[in-house]
Structure 1
Amino acid sequence: MSLPDLALQIIYARIAWGLIAAAMLLSVLPTMLPRIFPQLARRSKAIVAVTIAAVMALPGEASPAYWLTLIFQYPSGLLAGYSLVALCARWTEKPVDFLLHPAFALALTLVGAVLYLDAFGVLALGLYYRGFDADAAALLAGAAALAGAAAFTLRWAVSGGAALLASVLLFSLLRLPTGNLWDALLDPLLWAWAVGSVIVAARRYYRARPARSPAAELVPVSVPGSGVEQL
């Protein structure tokens, strides 16, 4: 398995962290500063995006991407893909949900839990290192691409499918971000986002369930021939 060039990784980190920061800022600015940003116009969005790109492109330690990479490592291609999809949606004034699709969130949560337990030595399966194996990575990348294409074309989860296809394509062509397929599909920030999405989705499902009152459960039932009603 070939590894990406360090210079290419640095360029990727600048672009990926810029996409993530721009997507986050454009989502929270109207909430944090409603008087200044009641509704972001395209000019305001362009100013925010250009400013973030210029700051992230600063050389060496002057760039926030340098410190973010030291703390969180390289962001996954899937997280960068989600950020790009969110930016495109906000640019075209389409509604954007803060939560991941429940199916994608649950899959990422389970896969991330197994990988992190494996990395900590709890399971000791060596799954992460198989992401460097050419054959295993090719099979997993093909399965991920098929899942992303199905989700996109069948309209199950358009944003998730597009982001998944983008991350697989980025890894297949350039081996970014690290040469390991798992790093292209998952990172700690994305996993935390997926766990939060699963929790919120579970709470919404629980609240949406029809409430059954105790009086409705205690329905008298007549026993034939006894003249007595049982509960």
Structure 2
Amino acid sequence: MSLPDLASQIVYGRLAWATVAATLLLALLDVVPVRRLPQRLLAGLLAAIFVLFMLPGAASPAYWLTLAFHYPSGLLFGCCVLKLRQHWDGQRGGGAVMMPPLAAAIAVSGVILYLDAMGLLTQGYYYAGFGPTAAPLVALLGAGGCALAVVRNTARPQAGALLTAILLFSLLRLPTGNLWDTLLDPLLWGWAVASLAALAVARGTRRTAVRDTRLPAPAPAGDLNTLSALGAAQPSSTIKEHVSGN
């Protein structure tokens, strides 16, 4: 087991947390119904965030965020970079960075690892990320799969983000020297679960709308009153005809 250099950890933590904070700011701007900010003003806000997070010691918000949440995973860092680029290219609220297959893999892996970390599984899955054989092998297979996806243009942005995270682990051992910390963290897991929940709600709403369109339209109130009147008059007319016949 080899740990990353402390200086590279500090630099990575500040840069990664600044990127996460900038992405959260842009996500807030997407949700709040405000006018689109001019490109220069937006660039100034992002630059101010990065300058603030690069301050030394406890003056940087990244210092306190690292104490509370540790380091963002390399995959979260890559996904945030994708989201920033998407927003900067003018795709406000654009395509999903957290695609359903990626979100499902992160959600399931997170449940297994967190249950193991809490002692409910006790299989040592998290500590296997420090292993001298299994972790490098998984990283090598993952890097190969990501490279193949990039070449085939299959989910290229997401594959590139995952490949970058694996390279950070392989070359610099960032962020902690554990493979799972490179691929997963609580914020990324929450993002994945929220994406799956939003997808499930959207599909449920769509199915309800399709089912409603297939149901026959209710009759207007006037037609219902006419039908009721005819139904009420029919028995009496039948009785009158029977008496007349007799």
Q: Which amino acid aligns with 1:200?
A: A
* Cα distance in 2 between the residues matched to 1:177 and 1:200: 30
CA displacement at 1:53 relative to structure 2 = 1.0
Give the TM-score of the pair, scaled to structure 1.
0.84
* Cα distance in 2 between the residues matched to 1:68 and 1:151: 34
Q: Which has the higher helix share?
A: 2
Unaligned runs of 5+ in 2: 217-246
Aligned to 1:133: 131
* Cα distance in 2 between the residues matched to 1:33 and 1:206: 26
* Cα distance in 1 between the residues matched to 2:151 and 2:45: 32
Q: Describe the superposition over 1:141-172 as per-residue Cα deviations: whole angstroms up to 9, x where unpaired.
A: 12322333344444442332121111011111
User: Is 1:28 aligned to 2:28, yes or no?
Assistant: yes
Q: 1:58 aligns with which of 55, 78, 82?
A: 55
Question: Are the equivalent residues in 2 in contact too, given 1:106–1:198 (CA < 8 A)?
Answer: yes
Question: Are the equivalent residues in 1 in contact too, given 2:82–2:97 (CA < 8 A)?
Answer: no
Q: 2:87 aligns with which of 68, 85, 90?
A: 90
CA displacement at 1:46 relative to structure 2 = 1.7
User: Is 1:119 aligned to 2:117, yes or no?
Assistant: yes
Q: Which amino acid aligns with 1:13?
A: G
CA displacement at 1:99 relative to structure 2 = 6.0
Q: Describe the superposition over 1:170-198 as per-residue Cα deviations: whole angstroms up to 9, x where unpaired.
A: 11111000000000000001001111111
How many residues align? The count is: 212
CA displacement at 1:117 relative to structure 2 = 0.5
Aligned to 1:228: none
CA displacement at 1:32 relative to structure 2 = 3.2
Q: 2:198 aligns with which of 178, 197, 200?
A: 200
Larger radius of gyration: 2
* Cα distance in 1 between the residues matched to 2:156 and 2:42: 23
Map residues 1-231 of structure 1 onto 2, 5 A cutoff: 1-29=1-29, 31-32=31-32, 34=34, 38-95=35-92, 96-97=94-95, 100-209=98-207, 210-211=210-211
Question: Are the equivalent residues in 1 in contact too, given 2:83–2:97 (CA < 8 A)?
Answer: no
* Cα distance in 2 between the residues matched to 1:16 and 1:27: 17
* Cα distance in 1 between the residues matched to 2:91 and 2:141: 30
Aligned to 2:230: none
Question: Are the equivalent residues in 2 in contact too, given 1:99–1:197 (CA < 8 A)?
Answer: no
* Cα distance in 2 between the residues matched to 1:102 and 1:26: 22
Q: Which amino acid aligns with 2:23?
A: A
Question: Are the equivalent residues in 2 in contact too, given 1:45–1:91 (CA < 8 A)?
Answer: no
Question: Are the equivalent residues in 1 in contact too, given 2:13–2:62 (CA < 8 A)?
Answer: yes
* Cα distance in 1 between the residues matched to 2:97 and 2:174: 25
Unaligned runs of 5+ in 1: 216-231
Give the TM-score of the pair, scaled to structure 2.
0.79
Q: Describe the superposition over 1:96-154 as per-residue Cα deviations: whole angstroms up to 9, x where unpaired.
A: 34661000000000000000011111111101111111211111112322333344444
CA displacement at 1:89 relative to structure 2 = 1.9
CA displacement at 1:202 relative to structure 2 = 1.8
* Cα distance in 2 between the residues matched to 1:202 and 1:73: 31
Q: Describe the superposition over 1:30-80 as per-residue Cα deviations: whole angstroms up to 9, x where unpaired.
A: 54371xxx2233312321121011100111111100111111111000000
Question: Are the equivalent residues in 2 in contact too, given 1:151–1:160 (CA < 8 A)?
Answer: no
After TM superposition, the structure 1 stretch with the greater mean CA deviation from structure 2, 140-149 or 176-185, is: 140-149
* Cα distance in 2 between the residues matched to 1:150 and 1:15: 28
Aligned Cα root-mean-square deviation (Å): 2.1
SS of 2:211's equivalent in the other structure is: coil
